[in-house]
Each structure stands twice: as C-alpha cells, then as structure tokens.
Structure 1
Amino acid sequence: MKRSRRHRAATLAAAAATLLAATTAGAAPSTASSGAPHPTDHAQRAGIARGGDAFMGWSQDSTTAAPTQKQAADASTLAAATQTPGIDVSKWQGNVDWASYWSQGKKFAYVKATEGTTYQNPYFAQQYNGSYNVGMVRGSYHFALPDNSSGTAQADWFVDHGGGWSADGKTLPGVLDIEYDPYGATCYGLSQAAMTSWIAAFTSRYKARTGRDAVIYSTTSWWTTCTGNTSQFGATNPLWIARYNTTPGTLPAGWSYYTFWQYSDNPVDQDYFNGDLAGLQRLALG
C-alpha cells in the first residue's frame, strides 16, 4: 500500500520520494557501489528512503479484492476466537509512549531489531525495554533481505542484535519478516526453490541459536508467488499473516490457523494474537 499515514513519516516520505526520484529517474532499482540498496518507486512512496528503512507491512494494501463466500466463511471462523491486541513498531515510531498504548489495552509488542546483516534499529532499546517495562509481552523481528546474504548469516545477525529469546514469560520468539522487496525484484531474484531453502536456513539457524521456532510473517500473495505456496513450515513455525482487511483471508499452504494477524497500520501497525492473554504467555514461555 502506498502509505503516507505512518506515524512521524509522512513528511519524510514526500521529501524522500522527491529527492530519490530526481536522482534515479528512469533507472531500474539497483545497489550503489557502497552496497547500500536503492528503494523502488513503490518503496519510496511508502517512506523508505534508504537501506534499513523497511518496516513490517510496508507494501500492504487495504483494498484487496473481496474474498469468495468460502474464504469469508473460513476467515470468520478464524476471527471468531478470542483475540489479544498488540502493535508492532520500528524506527519510524521513535521513542514510543508505551504507557499510553498499555492504557489502550495493547498487551504485546513486536519491535524491529535488524535488517539484512548491517542494520540495527536505533530506537530498539527504548522500544523493546519500554514495552516490557509497562507489562507487555514483547518480541523482536528481522526484515529479511534474501539477496543480501545467507539465511544463516541473517539469523546470526538477528540473534546477536536483539533477536534472542529467554524463558521469562514475557519474551516472544523472534519473527522472520519475509515480504515484498522494497529495493528490487518481488522475490529478491530467487527462484521459488531457492527462496524456500533460504527461509529454511534462517529458521533452522534461529532454532539452533535460541531453541525456539521463529514466527514467519508474510502475505499469502507473496508466499504463493515467491515460495510456490510451500507447506514446508506450517507444522513448525507460527504464522503471522498480514492483511489489512476485516478478515485475515486465505492462509498460505500448511497453516490451518494464524498465530498473529496484522490487520491495520492506523495510526500504528495493529495486530491480534489469535487467543487469550494466557495463550500469548504460553507462547512466550515456549
């Protein structure tokens, strides 16, 4: 979705789009000699001006086609269960007023920690520790760049820079945010088989390092296009489905239910855990 309402980023988005359009007009998405990725036009309109700016759900579209009757019935059944509200944040939210979100009933938060193998969220400590300190169950996520380095290398970078896990009952397993490429081709130039192998390398390494199966965040459309709708991870990795709509819609192959659902970005990314607070705490404990 061409989003301009992201908190504290509307002005930056417009300025970045103007500046980068002037410098890259007519050029295909590319990587500078320094290795820094150049955002696509779509990403620029979402406020992504440089490597590291990507955020969970940056390309989401809230005006997707209406689901079929069966899809709507399936989604309604899924959404009927008790839902626990939370949010996810990145550098775009800066220093977050966690007490305010706690008073609004948000019980959990996910914080962007890393991207690729070079980026760290400069607000990570305030966001990760602040959410914990007000009583939220918190976790962190990694924005994947599968064309940048191996899944193993990115899992290590993530774990070493905020993506770890501890059995304190308030720390959720880390998330692999695998979605549309803000810096180039939709599937990062990988075949469906290669993408599946990359995800397997990341999730395997993450589990080896932490003892937990990483949550996988994606959209059904991206997953189908870029992995061939593989069902390989459905039995092991919790699903975080992204769809800005009134229902989560059809899920990727292998998952019969979602664990998290990102359903809106207004005024900040809004999420549900598919269960009650006790269930969320059980997920944290492992």
Structure 2
Amino acid sequence: MRKIKETAGTKGKNRIQKSKKPVKPVRKGKSVRSSGRRGKRKPGGTGRKRRGGFRLRDRRIALITAVVVLAAAAVFLFCISYVVLGSYNGLGEKETIRMNRYSSDALYTRSGLRHYRDKNYRSIPGIDVSVFQGNVDWDKVYDAGIRFAMIRVGYSGSEKGTIHEDENFRKNLKGAKKAGLDVGVYFYSQAITTDEAVREAKYVIRHIRGRGVTYPVVYDMEHTPGDRVGDLTKKEKTEIADAFCTIVQKNSFRPMIYGNPEWLLKNLDLRYLTGYEFWLAHYSRTSYYPYQYAMWQYSSTGKIKGIRKNVDLNIYFVKK
C-alpha cells in the first residue's frame, strides 16, 4: 500500500497528499524490466525452478550411473562364473622326462598312514572320494590325520560322453573344507576328441572356480570293457590329456594326470606332457616307477574313521 502524508491546509482544513517517489530515468536501449532491482525473486519464481531442475537432473544422472555399475558388476560375475578361457592348438615340442628321485628307504608308516621324508621331500597324507564312499564325516577324517582330499567333480558317460556331476561333489567339497582339509578335484573322462576334452575341462573350471580348490585338478582316463576310449591311438590319448590340462592351466589351476604305471607308459607319450604333474596309482609296499610323480595312490582298501566304506589312500610329495 502506498504511504500517504497529512499536511495542514490554509483554512484549518487538512489536506491529504500522495507521497511521490523519484522515478529513475530509463537508459536508451534497456527495457524497464532490465533496469529494475536484481537478486530478489518472489517465492516460487524462476530461480527456484532452476535449482529444482538441477536437482532432478542430478538424480537422473546418479540413477543412470548406478544402473551402469550394477550392469557391469553382473557381467563381471557372469564372466568369472561361466566364461572359461582357452582353446587347444595341439601338442607342443617333445621334452626330456624327469626321472624318479624318491627312495624307498625314506618311506615309513605311522598311525596306519604311509609317510615319506628325506633331505629333499616330505609328504602329506590324503584320500580321494566320490559318491561311492557314501556320506563322509569330515571332522573324523581330519582327526584321523588326513590333510587333503581329492574329490570327484564329475565324469563323462562311456556311451555318448555326456557329462554328469558326481552326486556328492558339492557336499564333499563343502564338508572337507569346513573340517580344515585342503581340496583338489578329479574328473573321470571318456572323451574321444580334443574338443570333448576341452568341454570337460571347462565344465570342471565352472564348478570349482571361487570354491577354494588349492590342490591339483586331475585328468583321469581309464580303459574298461565297452568304453569309448579303447580304440584311441596313443597319440590321440596324449592329445586329449594335453587338451584337458591346457585349459586347466590357462585358468590358473594346477593340472595333473592320473594313471597306473601301465596306463601312463603304454597309452601316453609322456615326452609331450612334461609340463604337468602326475598322480601314480600303484598298490604296493614300494612304488617302482621310472619317472617323477607328485602324488601316489598306494591303496584302494584304506580304512579311515568317518568313512564306512573302503577309501583310496594317497601321499602328496612336497619339496622342502
């Protein structure tokens, strides 16, 4: 409301006059709007709308960023869970096979388990299990002195090579680790081509990645009546074993090949496989085998507390 000023009239009458404010002259080229006072805006005016607009835009950017980050994390988790690196390009060069350097005099038995110790090597006692051992009480196994377990992750069928997971694999892996044992895995293969061996290896990697497998990942091919592998040549078996181990190695696990002396010497050309460790199956008091091996399965009729059925007994050689 405009202010009013009351003044006394000449004849005793009051005269009311409107107070006048000086009007600023308007410069040429500028509008009245631009010449007015700046900085003050009415509530809800243009300035607040702009700030609100900025906040809305920031929220949208933050939302888009969060979606992109979550999508990237999902892709990463998919890759580490399902994408397995590597392909097979054939056998490499022949190498000299390392000779066996163990001494039978360094073997001894304690608490029913075999051990080894000399100036270069010591041993760790272990077992290997599959669904055929039934339910295992892993705490009792550990208390019996066992320190590692090789667990069957799966196998391929002898008719079509279809891959199957061992029924007790997940339970055995979880139970052994919880009890404090180190774990490795093995896969029983009936692959008849290198492509099948690559597929088997990738299957194994997908099932063990991120699950605390610290011992070797083993390739196990054995000939039985009516199986798929009986007609393979020595070179084909060597290539198949090499293909499996190549994929395992490319995915940062330690490959190993299993077999008894006859299988290893007659069915594989070991000169192409010198880059891998070997797991020897030989049930005798002492193990005579001309070439170096890292693990020895010395009995298939072991008795261990926590396992009702017979179990394979092993020792793993560790360089001091």
TM-score calculated relative to the size of structure 2: 0.55
- 1:202-241 to structure 2, matched below 5 A, reads 202-208=244-250, 210-227=251-268, 229-234=269-274, 236-241=275-280
Query: Equivalent residue of 1:106, what SS?
Result: coil
Going from structure 1 to structure 2, the CA distance change for 1:165 and 1:181 (only over 3 Å counts) comes to farther
- 1:263-282 to structure 2, matched below 5 A, reads 263-266=298-301, 267-275=310-318
RMSD, aligned CA? 2.7
- 1:1-286 to structure 2, matched below 5 A, reads 76=104, 79=107, 80-81=116-117, 82-116=122-156, 117-147=162-192, 150-162=196-208, 164=209, 171-181=214-224, 183-184=226-227, 187-208=229-250, 210-227=251-268, 229-234=269-274, 236-251=275-290, 255=291, 257-266=292-301, 267-275=310-318
Going from structure 1 to structure 2, the CA distance change for 1:73 and 1:120 (only over 3 Å counts) comes to closer
What is residue 15 of structure 1 aligned with on the other side? none
Asked whether the 8 Å contact 2:219–2:257 carries over to 1, the reply is yes
Query: Equivalent residue of 1:88, what SS?
Result: strand
Q: Within 2, Cα distance between the matches of 1:154 and 1:73?
A: 33
TM-score calculated relative to the size of structure 1: 0.62
Q: Within 1, Cα distance between the matches of 2:280 and 2:287?
A: 7
Identity in percent:
24
Offset at residue 107 of structure 1 (A) = 0.3
Indicate the structure with greater strand content: 2
Higher Cα Rg, which structure: 2
Matched positions, count: 196
**Which segments of structure 1 move beyond 4 Å, counting only runs of 4 or more?**
71-75, 77-80
Offset at residue 216 of structure 1 (A) = 1.0
Q: Which runs of 5+ in 1 are unaligned?
A: 1-70, 280-286
Q: Which runs of 5+ in 2 are unaligned?
A: 1-98, 108-115, 157-161, 302-309
Q: Within 2, Cα distance between the matches of 1:211 and 1:72?
A: 26
Offset at residue 190 of structure 1 (A) = 0.8
CA offset digits 1:91-143 (Å, max 9, x no partner) = 11122111111111000001101112421011111111111111100111100
